[in-house]
Amino acid sequence: MELTEFVAKYAVERRHTSSVKWDGMQEKYGTNDLLPLWVADTEFKVPEAVTEALQNRIAHGAYGYSLTPESYYEAYFKWQQTRYGTELEHDWLRFGTGVVQSLSTLVTCLTEPGDAVMILQPVYAPFLSVITDNQRIPVISNLKRNGTHYEMDLADIQAKLQAKEVKLLLLCSPHNPVGRVWSSTELADLLEICRQEKVLLVSDEIHHDLIVGKRPFISALSIKEGYYRDNLVMLDSASKTFNLAALQNSHVVIPNPQLRERYDHCVARLHAPSGSLLGQVADEAAYRTGATWLAGMLAVVKHNYEYLKKTLTTAFPQLTVYELEGTYLAWVDLSQVVPVDKLEWVIKHQARLAVDFGEEFGPVGKGFIRINLATPPANIEKAVAALCAAIQA
């Protein structure tokens, strides 16, 4: 689908709809009167078939305790298999009400208080809080900057896994906020290190449908034809892809039977939530019918990214817009054009934008901002113009 057709058909006003991004700015930024490019959801309506499926289910009128129908598994597995070659089995799949909920549950169920858990910063903030909030010890390996992209520091990772006796590593793949789609070689190297050091890996693949660069996505489950899959748990959901976060349905994929048993016992003890009826109705319809819609949305993201990168780096060659291989989140280093201690003020009061500030993703993010590109191009044009004027001033 063409970009303009997609925007005309699906862009929707979200102000005054109890949207965190539009109506919840006050709490974080002190005003609701900014252009919001923060929370990672989109300004687009879901595919028509998703709304229809929800309407049909709603029309039934009874919403008691529900099972997941076989048709759901078929739709999800087909999506994974045909788009990414990821082979999944029925027994491996468990449900959550969100990927962060599952990250926290996995930290609780697969480690003990006081155990060390590794993350690669800068990374989505809850990766750190699910560790510290559960009284585990975070071990940080910083990603390495190389020109306009980031890489894993494998030597640092291995040294710290050994020295700190790490039990679990939480990987973001594709990586929010740096926009990397990890290559099969990088994933294989990381998984091999984890195997050698007896560290379990949790791969958060929630952004896996949002591929906008040349590098194809590969799931950790598929590396070396599944050689490492007994040592990992994969998490994903349709919520980022199709703007369904509030319907609260997500996947926990555990191929290893012993690990699954441990997880199941623990989840039973916690009475942790498991999926949601309407989330599953919506997700199934999205997996069945959403490919064309998704192509349209990715065209918008690519266009917005190219525009942002070209305009900002032409105006300010010292500023860095990192390569965007995956996610709809641009990672921009403003440290060479705005004094780091003035950045928040300049963005909020001069540019009047609500973006995520880099330090939310770890201390190495100071001086950076993260910009959500899943919005009509007019918003990105407005934001870039405001940003340029603010930097100039």
Ligand X SMILES: Cc1ncc(COP(=O)(O)O)c(C=O)c1O
Interaction site with ligand X (CB under 6 A):
40, 98-100, 124, 172, 176, 204, 206, 237, 239, 245, 250
Least distance (Å) from ligand X to the CB of residue 213? 17
**188 vs 193: CA distance, rounded Å:** 9
Pairing of strands 232-236, 250-253: antiparallel
- Provide CB contacts within 8 A for 297, sequence distance 6+: 6, 10, 42, 44, 374
Residue closer to ligand X, measured from CB, 252 or 390: 252
**235 vs 231: CA distance, rounded Å:** 14
219, 86 in Cβ contact below 8 A?
yes
Residue closer to ligand X, measured from CB, 9 or 28: 28
Q: Give the residue nearest to ligand X (CB).
A: 98
From start to end of 205-291, where are the E strands? 232-236, 250-253
376, 14 in Cβ contact below 8 A?
no
Least distance (Å) from ligand X to the CB of residue 202? 11
Residue closer to ligand X, measured from CB, 172 or 338: 172
140, 121 in Cβ contact below 8 A?
yes
Least distance (Å) from ligand X to the CB of residue 272? 13
Element housing 330 (H / E): strand 329-333
Least distance (Å) from ligand X to the CB of residue 106? 12
Residue closer to ligand X, measured from CB, 158 or 327: 327
DSSP string, 104-132: HHHHHHHS-TT-EEEEEES--THHHHHHH
Residues facing residue 103 across a β-bridge: none
Least distance (Å) from ligand X to the CB of residue 246? 9
The vertex-187 CA angle with 184 and 193, nearest 5°, equals 140
Least distance (Å) from ligand X to the CB of residue 103? 7
Residue closer to ligand X, measured from CB, 238 or 384: 238
**41 vs 71: CA distance, rounded Å:** 27
Residue closer to ligand X, measured from CB, 204 or 338: 204
Least distance (Å) from ligand X to the CB of residue 355? 14
Residue closer to ligand X, measured from CB, 152 or 245: 245
